[in-house]
Amino acid sequence: MNIKKWIYLFFTTLIIGGASSVIVGMLLRWQDIESGASLFVMIAWLMGFGFIFSIISQMGYFAYLTIHRFGLGIFKSVQLWSWVQILVLAFVVFDLFYLRFVAFEELSMFNLLFVPFALLAFGAVVAYIKMKETNKGAFIPTLFFMVAVTTIEWIPVLKQGDSLWLWLSIVPLLACNAWQVLILHRLIHKKS
């Protein structure tokens, strides 16, 4: 991977984060625009918010790539490292339900279960696509990244419990994480 490809990855991920935040923000806050809020100011604010989560996503992705290499080196076996990731993934999904249950008792059971299972389902779809484009061994690491790392990146907003902020942050995170994981193998193998 050369600097030209890294710059491409950085700026396309930044644009995806900003655009996805603007789209979700406009859908969720349309009443503010109808009530006279400045459309330009709202778009600029949402774009900046999306840029922030795009950068968080990129830091998380490169941190995971480093941890993945360490994991492969420490466990000396792809299968063992995959089982470790599955165990941590199960723990993260359970905690995403249980810790929200403890912190926000007023949330319905549907809401508490929907978030971890929707994140798991989206991660499984992305992991399946990655596996089809590369190899079978890509499924578990991709699923782990899409669920566990996204959850870690999402923690500051999860603590707030506000549904508007949850949506404004998770959509750019998922879009950016999916983009990065699905484009990297193409960038690495692409001749430039």
CA angle 62–92–102, rounded 5-degree value: 130
pTM, two decimals, is 0.90
The residue to which tokens 């499924």 are assigned: 139
pLDDT for res 192: 53
Q: CA-to-CA distance for 70 and 61, rounded, in angstroms? A: 14
pLDDT for res 1: 75
Q: How far is CA 89 from the centre of its chain?
A: 14
Instruction: Give the up-direction half-sphere exposure of residue 134: CA atoms within 13 A in the CB hemisphere.
Output: 22
The tokens for 102 are 């403890």
pLDDT for res 36: 65
The tokens for 30 are 């349309």
Rg (CA), the chain: 18
pLDDT for res 35: 67
pLDDT for res 29: 81
pLDDT for res 96: 86
Q: Which stretches in the chain have pLDDT values below 70?
A: 33-37, 190-192
